[in-house]
Amino acid sequence: MTIKVVFFATLREQLDCSEVQVPASEVNTIADIKIKLARKNEHWQQVFSHSALLSAINHDMVQSEHTVKTGDEVAFFPPVTGG
Amino acid sequence: MTIKVVFFATLREQLDCSEVQVPASEVNTIADIKIKLARKNEHWQQVFSHSALLSAINHDMVQSEHTVKTGDEVAFFPPVTGG
Amino acid sequence: MNNTSVKISIQTQDFNLQDEVDLLEQDNAVDGAVVTFTGRVRNKNEGLTVSGLYLEHYSGMTEKSLAKIIAQAQQRWQIGRVSVIHRIGQLAIGDQIVFVGVTSMHRQDAFAAAEFIMDYLKVQAPFWKKELTEQGEKWLDAKQSDNKQAQQWNN
Amino acid sequence: MNNTSVKISIQTQDFNLQDEVDLLEQDNAVDGAVVTFTGRVRNKNEGLTVSGLYLEHYSGMTEKSLAKIIAQAQQRWQIGRVSVIHRIGQLAIGDQIVFVGVTSMHRQDAFAAAEFIMDYLKVQAPFWKKELTEQGEKWLDAKQSDNKQAQQWNN
């Protein structure tokens, strides 16, 4: 009953982590996940407060208030720079 | 002391002629040349009266009132269809 | 490929423009116009000399995001086939990074759709560039001008 | 080629897109964006099945006319190199007819300039197409829509 959370680019390097699992019962929205992750320690707190992060659920870009459910794949990443 | 006049595409085929020389002393403008050529015979008369022709002097597109002088290369052709 | 086929490819290897355009036009004698955009690695960025580029992406989301952008272009313009190729991994100066190709019966539609796809790819498709510069490795910052450019299509 | 070189070629032989784009980008690590337009012979026109095309041009004026159009584009947009290739003579269905390639540091400029050059080529460059259709040979009529399209750049 978890939500898979993945990180990319600068964010992944800053956290030195590419993926975590979050218990689905503890979060309702993307914003909740961000708050929960920021509480992990001071470093994560800093990273999550300083960056203008984008988020996606199951490969679709979504806003912070979007709800999440068990089995979802949530992603956080900095603004994209392809092309 | 002549002006070289060249024809392209449909016009060349309709006239069955690709180039004529016109005495520079007999014409002042592009329009004059057109009138002179149309007087050649009934067929040329028809061809020049029926077509929306474009004209150029020395490879630059010009209007009918543009003056011509000896040594000029004048061209008449139908609207272009390249690309 | 049928006349409205879409090709989306995320790949490490290079691509050949003529091959890609031939594929777009193969058995497609209906569409006389093909517009392509190709992006290449530049040697300078924001005043720094760049010696190479590393491209990361979010596999799965990239393809879905590009498919959505292409579908929007198909709704807005009368276009035929579309091909989007984006390279990932290590790239050198001058290397081709991205290809967008669009066919149409009308060149205006091909131009507009190709530009639209590039503009949205820039702000929605999950790719990230890390430049190798004289001052070391550096993740690129997103450009505000790219957001503005994409928003212009809503006017 | 230097960074603002112009290539204009009127030729009977085919061209290769990758070669042309490589030439546009050779020793040109400044311009990261390349936009191309390619026109091909369609199998239908105005309801008639077409089996081939013959292209005539006014040698000398063609080159001068294209050079002027390109110079106008260079004044309007910040572009690097430009290449225009137009084939003449006998062409078959699917054959490449025309190529316009523009490089720039900014993709918007490359897109706009390439479209501008095509729009003006269509109404100012002295080329004429004769189609071989099921009803025999037929010189193409110019399209009013092409004039309108070119005039839009004056607004």
Residues 6+ apart with CB under 8 A from C11: C85, C86, C87, C88
| C-alpha closest to that of C64 among D113, A58, A27 | A58
Q: Which residues of B41-66 are buried (b: 16+ CB within 10 A; e: fewer)?
A: eeebeebbeeeebbbbbebebbeeeb
Neighbour subunits, B (≥3 Cβ pairs < 8 A): D
- How much is the average pLDDT of A8-19? 97
Report chain B residues whose CB lies below 8 A from the CB of D57: 82
**Chain-chain contact of D124 with B80 (C-beta, under 8 angstroms):** yes
**Chain-chain contact of C56 with A9 (C-beta, under 8 angstroms):** yes
pLDDT in tens, B28-78: 999 999 999 999 999 999 999 877 899 999 999 999 999 999 999 999 999
Q: What is the pLDDT of residue D65?
A: 98
Mutation test of the interface with chain A: which of C84, C95, C139, choosing the one with the most A Cβ atoms within 10 A?
C139
How many CB contacts within 8 angstroms connect chain C with chain D?
A: 102
**Chain-chain contact of B78 with D142 (C-beta, under 8 angstroms):** yes
| SS3 labels along chain D | CCCCCEEEEEECCCCCHHHHHHHHHCCCCCCCEEEEEEEECCCEECCEEEEEEEEEECCCHHHHHHHHHHHHHHHHCCCCCEEEEEECEEEECCCEEEEEEEEECCHHHHHHHHHHHHHHHHHHCCEEEEEEECCEEEECCCCHHHHHHHHHHHC
Nearest Cα residue in chain C from A61: C124
Report domain B2-77's class: alpha beta
Neighbour subunits, D (≥3 Cβ pairs < 8 A): B, C
Q: What is the pLDDT of residue D155?
A: 81
- Distance, in Å, from the CA atom of C51 to the CA atom of C42, rounded to the nearest integer, reads 9
What percent of chain A is modeled with pLDDT above 70?
99
D149 touches chain C (CB under 8 A): yes
Q: How far is C18 from chain D (nearest CA, A)?
A: 5
Q: What is the pLDDT of residue B6?
A: 98
Q: What is the pLDDT of residue D2?
A: 67
> Are chains A and C in touch, 3+ Cβ pairs below 8 Å?
yes
**Chain-chain contact of D129 with B82 (C-beta, under 8 angstroms):** yes
Report chain D residues whose CB lies below 8 A from the CB of C19: 18
In the predicted structure, residue A25 carries a pLDDT above the cut 70 = yes
Q: What is D6-140's CATH topology?
A: Aldehyde Oxidoreductase; domain 3 (3.90.1170)
Low-confidence residues of chain D, pLDDT below 50? none
Choose the closest CB to C38 out of D21, D44, D115: D21
Print pLDDT tens along chain C (155 aa): 567 799 999 999 999 999 999 999 998 888 999 999 999 999 888 788 889 999 999 999 999 999 999 999 999 999 999 999 999 999 999 999 999 999 999 999 999 999 999 999 999 999 999 999 888 999 999 999 999 999 999 98
Q: What is the pLDDT of residue D102?
A: 98
pTM for the whole structure: 0.95
Domain boundaries, chain C: 6-140
In the predicted structure, residue A76 carries a pLDDT above the cut 60 = yes
Domain boundaries, chain A: 2-77
